Amino acid sequence: MTTTGPVPALADRAAACADRLRAADRVLLASHIDADGLTSAAIATAALSRAGIPVETVFKKQLDAAEIESIAAREYDTVLFTDFGSGQLDVISEHVAAGDFEAIIADHHQPSDPDDCHPDAVVDTDGYADFETHLNPLLEGINGASELSGAGAAYVLARALSTEGTDNRDLAALAVVGAVGDMQAVGGELVGANAGLVEEGIAADVLEEGTDLSLYGKQTRPLPKLLEYATEVPIPGISNDQAGATRFLEGLGLDLKSDDDWRTWADLSDDERQTVASGLVQRAVERGVPADKIETLIGTTYTLTAEPRGTELRDASAVSYTHL
Ligand SMILES: [Mn+2]
């Protein structure tokens, strides 16, 4: 099966990494313990397991010489680093040159200076340390802070690990969670290579992109609380004002409860959401909230459609901030 993958510029690197992993009896996966690193590991372990490659995962707060030494002591022949590793190529290259393990790296951080690395293990790519199984957007002119995260790099690798049984496109939802968690959304929206991942997730039916209020807690918070606690764009008479938020919603003619339960944003019909969004924008304008602030009230949302309705697991930003 030949495919250029979701990020064509990284296709050759992804293929080299996938070939090396397929040749391994077992793989030790080391990943960063933050939202992007955890989703990176979830993507990589899923793809490796589906490809029939045994994998064990370890998480590290930071990857320093002592941590890399402890990884080498595990006596795995093949180590996959996700969401870190590029910036530690100086240390990793020493271990590779000593024959401690073969390294595969899927990362988006700035690689080490080649002069600091073991010359037998790395080459120089535009002043960055590099080698064959190094999957990093920066080495191909893609911005690693806004266009592809660690989870995105892991997803590109996962797509290259596709088997007869699966193309791994369902993992795009996790890649989007990682990118959002890595604060890569530009003006509330994923751009560049990240946008390609969103498209793959939509095509695989695991992701929906929409325009919506960009408030936290839309799936679970009672409506008055949703508005009361939404303080990133303070709206006079609503933000930090429970009675004011309730009065505002009642003034729009909404039913705030269904039976005895508070309704959430997720419970509203499209028409009701439109009513609330318009009402909020109108109130903000009337009370003199600056236009550039008001714009941020409405943003692009990424919904994980495979997750149950009414849980924060459906909302990519909520998953990043609360569950990881
Ligand atoms: Mn990251």
pLDDT digits (tens, 9 = 90+) for 256-307: 999 999 999 989 988 898 889 889 988 988 898 888 888 788 778 888 988 8
pLDDT tens readout for residues 100-148: 999 999 999 999 999 999 999 999 999 999 999 999 999 999 999 999 9
CB 262 within 8 A of CB 242: no
Tokens of 276: 């609330």
Q: How far is the CA of 75 from the centre of ligand 1 (A)?
A: 26
Domain definitions of the chain by residue range: 8-186, 212-323
- Rounded Cα distance between 129 and 210, Å, is 40
- Amino acid identity of residue 252, one-letter, is L
Q: Which CATH architecture has domain 8-186?
A: Alpha-Beta Complex (3.90)
Average pLDDT over every residue of 61-84? 97
Looking from the CA of 247 toward its CB, the CA atoms found within 13 Å total 9
Q: What is the pLDDT of residue 193?
A: 97
**Which H or E run includes 181?**
helix 172-181
Cα 108 to averaged position of ligand 1 atoms, centre (Å) = 7
Among 56-65, 175-184, 235-244, 301-310, where is mean pLDDT lowest? 301-310
Residues contacting 56, CB < 8 A, separation 6+: 26, 27, 28, 29, 76
Q: How far is the CA of 84 from the centre of ligand 1 (A)?
A: 7
Helices (H), 204-302: 223-228, 242-251, 270-286, 291-295
Instruction: Give the chain's mean pLDDT.
Output: 92
Range 76-98 average pLDDT? 98
Residue 308, pLDDT > 90, answer: no
In this model, does residue 324 exceed pLDDT 50?
no
What proportion of the chain, given as a percentage, has pLDDT over 90? 73
- What's the 211 CA to ligand 1 centre distance in angstroms? 25
Query: How far is residue 297's CA from residue 213's CA, in Å, rounded to a whole number?
Result: 6
The model's pTM is: 0.84
Ligand 1 (ion): which residues have CB within 5 A? 36, 83, 150, 182
Compute φ and ψ for 317, nearest 5 degrees.
-70, -40
Other C-beta atoms closer than 10 Å to the C-beta of 217 total 19
First to last CA, the chain: 34
CB 225 within 8 A of CB 217: yes
Asked if pLDDT for residue 61 goes beyond 60, the answer is yes
C-alpha–C-alpha distance, residues 56 and 71, integer Å: 12
Which residues fall within 8 angstroms of residue 70, CB to CB, at 6 or more apart? none
Residue 56 binned pLDDT confidence (cut-offs 50, 70, 90): very high
> For 222, what's the count of Cα atoms within 13 Å in the CB-facing half-sphere?
13
Percent over 70 (pLDDT), the chain:
97
Q: What is the mean pLDDT of the segment spanning 191-216? A: 91
pLDDT at 323: 44
Interval between CA 279 and ligand 1 midpoint (Å): 37
Task: Note whether 40 and 82 are within 8 A (CB).
Answer: yes
Please state the rounded mean pLDDT for residues 158-179. Answer: 95
20-24, 166-170, 215-219: least confidently modelled range: 215-219
